[in-house]
Amino acid sequence: MQSAELKQFVVDKIDDLKARDVVVIDVSNQSNITDYMVICSGTSKTHVKAIAENLVIEAKAAGIPPIGIEGRDSSEWVLVDMGNVILHVMQDQTRDFYQLEKLWSEKQA
């Protein structure tokens, strides 16, 4: 699956569980490990975990299992590494603290 197709797959699957404030950042010019970062919020630890788990289940069913999953235990920030796309699912306070969008936007400038 091409990077753009995988990005759309990830966005569709997180939308299935009502992920909030979805942001897609093209980092292909700044990173040699991934092409896109998808960042979204969940309303609670349970919601964050459910969004990430839905992607994992759907990706495995589509024959594209994740390379790695981090943060499932605390569920404040769950990262799902799909190779060319990395998903960050965060609770609002964690997202506000780390400000990944700002970090990667500044690198683009």
Please give the average pLDDT of every successive group of 10 residues along the chain, which has 109 residues.
94 97 93 94 97 97 97 94 97 95 69
Q: Is residue 44 part of a domain?
A: yes
Res 106: pLDDT: 58
Res 37: pLDDT: 96
56 lies in which domain range?
3-97
3-state secondary structure the chain: CCHHHHHHHHHHHHHHCCCEEEEEEECCCCCCCCCEEEEEEECCHHHHHHHHHHHHHHHHHCCCCCCEEECCCCCCEEEEECCCEEEEEEEHHHHHHHCHHHHHHHHHC
Which residues touch 23 (CB under 8 Å, ≥6 apart)? Answer: 38, 39, 40, 101
Q: Is residue 105 part of a domain?
A: no
What's the structural domain count of the chain? 1
Whole-number Å distance between alpha carbons of 68 and 63? 15
Res 48: pLDDT: 97
Q: Is residue 61 part of a domain?
A: yes
Q: Is residue 82 part of a domain?
A: yes
CATH number for position 69: 3.30.460.10
Q: Is residue 107 part of a domain?
A: no
pTM for the model = 0.94
Q: Is residue 69 part of a domain?
A: yes
Q: Is residue 57 part of a domain?
A: yes
